[in-house]
Amino acid sequence: MKSNKGKGLIGLIIALALVGLFGYFGYTTMNDIKLGLDLAGGVSITYQAKEENPSAEDMSDTIYKLQQRVQNYSTEAEVYQEGSNRINVDIPGVSDANAILEELGKPGSLIFVDEAGQTILNGNQVATAKPVITDENGIKKYMVDLTFTDDGKTVFADATTKNVGKRIAIIYDGKIYSNPVVNEPITQGQCQISGMTSYEEAETLASTIRIGSLSLELEELRSNVVGAKLGQEAISTSLKAGAIGFGIVAVFMIIVYLVPGLAAVIALSLYVGLILILLSAFSVTLTLPGVAGIILSIGMAVDANVIIFTRIKEEIGLGKTVQSAIKSGFNKALSAIIDGNVTTLIAAGVLFWRGSGTVKGFASTLAIGIVLSMITALFITKFILNALFNLGFQDPKFYGTKTDKKTIDFLGKRKIWFAVSLLVIVIGLGGLVVNKTQTGDILNYSMEFKGGTSTNVTFNEDMSLEDISSKVVPVVENVTGDAQVQTQKVAGTNEVIIKTKTLSVEERQNLDQAMVDNFGVEAEKITAESISGAISKEMKQDAFIAVIIATICMLLYIWFRFKDIKFAGSAVLALLHDVFVVLTFYSLLKWSVGSTFIACMLTIVGYSINATIVIFDRIRENLKVNSKMELSEIVNLSITQTFTRSINTSLTTFVMVFVLFILGVSSIREFALPLMVGIVCGTYSSVCITGSLWYVMTIYKNKHMEEKKAAEKAAKAAAKSSKKIKVRNQNEL
């Protein structure tokens, strides 16, 4: 016994030491975490097309390709149109505009030059660029395959015909990558760039060429170091909210789950320290959507612990010893935790791969958080719990006992659930139609989607962010009627960038006059430009495609794991249900739809899938254990067994977001409110909808199979009867 207590004490000391160590490094590295433009500011660069009247198509193409390029600096970088021929590039987390300009420079230029120094082909005439590996006598060579456009094919064929026996240099951004001799005319529209030392180098060059050949030639107009959109107050209040929320969750876990709850709190403290370190180590740019990813991953970390502790209570209730219950609880919870986390991780991976901007930032933080939550729940919590057990906490009363509760008839009320959900969705769709007829848009799109007007005002004094928020913003809101005003300071100057909805000429004049009257600003120090949405058409498409692919991948994984397409089908239907319900609130309450909207919806999708998986895992288990029970009883039993887990997990996650809503600035409240609705909706759908959907699908399939078997049996009987009649007739003859 003394030996076990010694082991327990050493284990607990190690755990607490790790919490202290990683907590310290996490705290010290907080300042090293890259913050997005909304939280910390960065560099804002304005380019102008040299062409006087560029086409909308060329501007859109250039914006998209620039967006891809600037992601090398930050996944949260934004590129949007200003006026008719200007492009704004906002890069968060950096402060040296000159260094960025020098590195970004003129977006990449690919040219083919003959021996006379004449450019015979440019990057716009290249259709595709792909890395390839060739093997010549066991020696690997790395190259880039170029395929030309129809125009490029003709020009290149003519140039190579004229330059047989001469060299044509392939130059990218002033660097010669290949300078081959033309042996014969190249008429097929393809060539290769050689000289790379690795496949990664070839891949990088191919990627850069694909996005570097801009439709327009740009020149730098201006560059500024800008301050945060939300200000320091947003960061401090978010940190305070996070600390308070975590404290409430910690107290709740200890009260409800006793010793296991204490183990979870220690493990989660370690988790917080580790995630701060990893965010810094992986150079993840943290923005509000990234915060959403962290909130979701913390919710899943708590959920994993709740699943385990519920199982331990059940095992103790069955008469097992505490030690045996701990071991069995972790083993039985394993499949639900892995399936729930892997499903969400698949979604995060696809979103990072196909998404851009805020979507990619959300995916990064979510992926890191999920992997870390699984490790802490399955290994760290187990280690700490065993240490506490060895230390002397061996009485079952320290762990709680799961008492058998009367099975709730959820399926008996499925028609009510379906009717309520359908009614809400129909109301929401009706709201979208009404919004479309009244405003021209189905939702209340913010500047990130619709664009607006950017007004640059140089004040007579250096105004703090707090002064801008308390003095300037109310004046702007009053004049423009816009409740979603965004402001940024230009570092080292008295200049403030004010972004509003699109203003008419009269509204611009009124705003200028208000600045003059209220703050004594000189009229000539006020300029205004129309700006496009920071979320481009291509970014929306990328996000949409990413969500579709992620949904398909999740469906396939659930199908593979549960060996039943009905589980996958009902999970996806429940997911769509949650999205439509939240859209209903966005529609009816006119909530602003901005960059955080995408992250919010993705969070809800992840939360919904995870909650659903837990119930499906229990149904799968009970189907094996209670095979003689009626199907409806199994479903009701499974939902009842996981009901406490569903409520407790949702409650802890809700508390985190609720505190953020109460203490946060207005922009954060806009973000937190839909999240709370999504959490409540996800809980409702997982408890009331998903199990019912799976049951209905299963009953329908079983009924169909029975009808098919009955039809086949009747057909066989008829055939047999017909054969007997035929034989009898033959005998009579």
Query: What is the side-by-side strand order in the sheet with 218-226?
Result: 218-226, 42-49, 86-92, 78-82, 526-531, 452-458, 495-500, 486-489
**What is the C-alpha separation between 341 and 337, in angstroms, rounded?**
6
- Alpha carbon of 164 to those of 43, 171, 185, 189: distances in Å? 48, 19, 7, 16
Look up residue 502 and give its amino acid: T
Contacts of 241 (CB under 8 A, 6+ apart): 659, 660, 662, 663, 664
**What is the C-alpha separation between 668 and 540, in angstroms, rounded?**
22
Domain with CATH 1.20.1640.10 in the chain: 1-41+232-403, 407-432+538-702
Place of tokens 């329908």: 700
**What is the C-alpha separation between 178 and 199, in angstroms, rounded?**
16
**What is the C-alpha separation between 222 and 259, in angstroms, rounded?**
60
Look at the domain 407-432+538-702 and name its fold: Multidrug efflux transporter AcrB transmembrane fold (1.20.1640)
Strands 42-49 and 86-92: antiparallel
Pick the CATH number of 42-108+218-225 from 3.30.70.3400, 3.40.50.300, 1.10.150.110, 3.40.50.1970: 3.30.70.3400
Phi-psi sector, 88: left (phi>0), alpha (psi -120 to 50), beta: beta
Q: What is the mean pLDDT of each run of 10 residues along the chain (733 residues)?
A: 74 87 82 67 77 80 74 70 78 64 56 86 78 81 85 88 87 75 85 79 72 69 64 64 82 88 90 84 72 72 84 84 88 85 82 69 80 87 89 84 77 91 90 85 77 85 80 87 78 81 85 88 83 64 75 83 85 86 87 73 75 86 82 89 84 84 73 84 88 88 69 71 62 56
Nearest CA among 343, 413, 433, 421 for reference residue 580: 421
**What is the C-alpha separation between 26 and 22, in angstroms, rounded?**
6
CATH of domain 110-213: 3.30.1360.200
Please give the pLDDT value at position 214: 66
Pick the CATH number of 452-531 from 1.20.58, 3.10.20, 1.10.357, 3.30.70: 3.30.70
Q: Are 356 and 615 in contact (CB under 8 A)?
A: no
- Alpha carbon of 321 to those of 87, 261, 399: distances in Å? 68, 19, 11
Please give the pLDDT value at position 105: 47
Domain with CATH 3.30.1360.200 in the chain: 110-213
Nearest CA among 299, 237, 270, 232 for reference residue 656: 299
- Alpha carbon of 632 to those of 412, 558, 604, 629: distances in Å? 9, 21, 28, 8
Which alpha helices (DSSP H) does 318-469 contain, by range?
322-354, 358-375, 381-391, 414-439, 447-450, 465-467
Please state the CATH superfamily assignment of the domain spanning residues 1-41+232-403 in this structure. Multidrug efflux transporter AcrB transmembrane domain (1.20.1640.10)
CA torsion 355→358→361→366, rounded to 10°?
A: -90
Domain with CATH 3.30.70.3400 in the chain: 42-108+218-225
3-state helix, strand, coil in the chain (%, to 5): 65, 15, 20
- The CA R_g of the chain, rounded to the nearest whole Å, is 31
Which alpha helices (DSSP H) does 563-594 contain, by range?
565-588
